[in-house]
Amino acid sequence: MAYSEKVIDHYSEPRNVGSLDKSDLNVGTGLVGAPECGDVMKLQIQVDPETKEIVDAKFKTFGCGSAIASSSLATEWVKGKSIDEAMSIQNTEIVEELSLPPVKIHCSVLAEDAIKAAISDYKSRNEN
């Protein structure tokens, strides 16, 4: 089915690896870790100041392949979403009988935490 193919294709080549300018006020940076595994991930978002939409996202993860793959998907997801939408990360594409390989438990929260941290950082620096 199209969804699972999309997901798997996406994972075999992680996209959005890299950095954004930390000092830029339109950039939010989140740094999170999963100590159970020794993974550390930095995720950055670039927000359009007028539309409040996330126009770009970059990440860098040091950890197991599973963590890298999960991060990659997360950054794809947030692109094009508003900050508020991104705060409640939910995969809205509901598929029946979807069969996929599992994920490591810590990986499923790592990316979510990273996005929230990045948004939180952006908000706190743009409070005024």
Partner 1 sequence: MERIIGIDLGTTNSLCATVFDEGPEVIGEGDNSVTPSVLSRIDSGWLVGQEAQQRRISNPENTVFSIKRLMGRDLEELGELVNELPYQIVEAERKLLKVRIGESEPYLDFTPQELSAEILKKVKQRAEAALGEAVEKAVITVPAYFDDSQRQATRAAATIAGLEVARIINEPTAAAIAYGLDEKQDLQKDGHVAVYDLGGGTFDISILKLSGKIFKVVATHGNTQLGGDDFDQSLVEILKKRILQEYTQAQFDDPESKQILRKTAESIKIGLSLSPENEYTLDFPKQDISFTDNFKVEDFESLIFPLVEQTLESCKHVLQQAKLSLDQIDEVVLVGGSTVVPGVRREIETFFGRSPHVAIDPYKVVAIGAGIQGHLLAGGRRDFLLLDVIPLALGIETLGGTFSKIITGNTTVPVEESETFTTNVDDQTSIDVNIYQGERELIKDCRALGKFKLHGIPPMKGGFPLVEVMFRVDANGILTVSASEKRSGKKAEIEVIPFHGLTQFEIERIMEDSFEHAIDDFNERQLIEFRLTAERVFQGIEQNWNVAESALSGTERDEIRRQMEVVRESMKKQDSQALKAQLDVLGELTRPLADTAMGRSILTELQADGETS
Partner 2 sequence: MAFDQPACHTCESTLVSRLFCFSCNALQPFPREMDFFEVLGFPVSFEIKSSELEERYQELSLELHPDFYGLAPEAEKLLSETASAILNTAYKTLREPTLRASYLLHLQATKQKLDERSLPEGFLAEMFFLQEELDELLGSGNAVDLSAMREDMQNRKKDIEADYAPLFKKHEEQPEDSGILQQLQTHLNAERYLRRLLERIPAAD
Q: Name the minimum Å distance from CB 17 to partner 1.
A: 14
- If the CB atoms of residues 59 and 77 are measured against partner 2, the closer one turns out to be 59
Q: Rounded to an integer, what distance in angstroms lies between the CA atom of residue 39 and that of residue 26?
A: 26
44 in contact with partner 1 (CB under 8 A): no
Cα 84 off chain centre by: 14
Report the side by side order of strands in the sheet with 27-34: 27-34, 39-47, 54-62
Q: Which stretch binds partner 1 (CB under 8 A): 27-35, 75-83, 95-103, 119-127?
A: 95-103
> Whole-number minimum distance, CB 89 to partner 2, in Å?
20
Please state, in angstroms and rounded to a whole number, the distance separating the CA atoms of residues 43 and 123: 15
Q: How far is the CB of 108 from partner 1 (least distance, A)?
A: 4
Catalytic (active site) residue 107:
yes
